[in-house]
Homo-oligomer: A and B are copies of this chain.
């Protein structure tokens, strides 16, 4: 992870803006990167209704207040749901889309932002089974169920009779109305010492969204998935990691802080939004903030 020039990172905005009416469902929004995503989309996409989910009721209140203070007048619905609590998840999610019709919107987006780095440490010493399970519950199980729940509300199945080959073309983004965004990580495609649970969770999420991309040809309206690695950012998540006992990761982050080589959350969201607006990525792909785009 090396330093970079911010002006190289985010392509200039496409000239023709589309003021689509959109619905954004976002999970893990009250701190860090999630909060930045919501505030950015509110300002840039404008005609957006939000369904915001977090385990922090206070955080959701504060976020809503910030949005209103910036003059945002469209709908904001908030739901206080703890995604680590699997036993209550079905009930908690069951009312989230009550009264919400996909037909009102030209674009519907699910942003899966919540996740945990814990437990950090070598696999050989990471001996807390409950902590391992909580990590898998939050980073994988909740994530997959949320995605199922979202799809089951906003899509219909076409008739499933034969196994479509993986070789047939993926749905083209330009047709798509529904976008599911997994906030992934470089850890989803490369292994890192001390990040056993985190890497495992991110790799799992990436694969799950690749499967949905395969299944999308059996759904309508068209669904597109994206695994976006937002880059290393100095958020609350990294502050927690710096407090961990595992020296290699603490030292890596402290060095990045010293060298000012973290990505600014605003820049990272700007690139993600550019990718979504351009609609030229292959569904199911993994795109890193450092990747050069040909569009």
Contact = CB atoms under 8 A, between A and B. Distances in A.
Given A191-B211, A196-B144, A201-B204, A248 B163 contact: yes
Interface in A162-185: 162-164, 166
Interface residues on A, range: 35 or more
A192 interface: yes
Contacts of A251: 162-163
Nearest to A250: B163
What is the total number of copies of this protein in its complex?
2
Contacts of A86: 129, 133
Secondary structure call for the A interface: helix
Interface of A: 86, 89-90, 122-127, 129, 132-133, 136-137, 140-141, 144-145, 147-149, 151-152, 155, 157, 160-164, 166, 188, 190-197, 199-208, 210-215, 218-219, 246-249, 251-252, 284
21 contacts: A86-B129, A89-B129, A123-B144, A124-B148, A124-B155, A124-B219, A125-B152, A125-B157, A136-B140, A144-B200, A163-B194, A191-B211, A191-B213, A191-B214, A193-B218, A194-B215, A196-B211, A196-B215, A199-B211, A201-B204, A202-B207
